[in-house]
Amino acid sequence: MGFMRDVEIVWDDLLDAFENTDPESVYFLDRETGEVFSVPIDYEDDDFWDEIDSNEERYLQIPDLDYDMERQLVYEFIKGMANGTLKNILQRAFVGKQPYGRLDDILAFYPEEKERLAVLKDEQTTVRIRNWLEMNDIFLSDEPH
């Protein structure tokens, strides 16, 4: 087990990295500086990759967005919806039987619901990040409240 110490990590950067949906990018956390950075997956700089590979303790690859968790979250979100009409539309869109457009497009007309989903997503991502940090023995000095 490596050394443990407090590092300053910008929480929003971490949140963005965990919510990254771009398959062409890979995110890393530098344990020593707390910096979160991304590079293209096909980044053609051998020195860079050698540096990453030979310093696994220092550079942690941030896991990709977990699509199964995301789907489950959206499912729970739709289930808990009070507006019956909207619920039906979203359930149809969700199972993908009819081309009803994407969730975001539909929710654009329902700002409260859109906000509720954003909050749920942030909560879920926060839990994922905390678990990941803990697994890697990283303790934030200023956790978001």
55 Cβ contact partners less than 8 Å away, ≥ 6 residues apart: none
The C-alpha atoms of residue 54 and residue 65 are separated, in whole angstroms, by 25
Q: What b-and-e string marks burial along 79-117, b requiring 16 or more CB atoms within 10 Å of the CB?
A: eebeeeebeebbeebeeeeeebeebeebbeebeebeeeb
Within the chain, strands assigned E span 6-7, 25-30, 36-40, 59-61, 139-140
The C-alpha atoms of residue 36 and residue 30 are separated, in whole angstroms, by 6
Please report, in tens digits, the pLDDT of each residue of the chain (145 residues total): 445 556 788 899 999 999 888 889 999 999 999 999 999 999 999 999 999 999 999 999 999 888 888 888 988 999 999 999 999 988 887 776 544 557 888 899 999 999 999 999 999 999 999 999 999 988 776 555 4
Q: What are phi and psi of 37, to 5 degrees?
A: -140, 160
pLDDT value, residue 1: 44
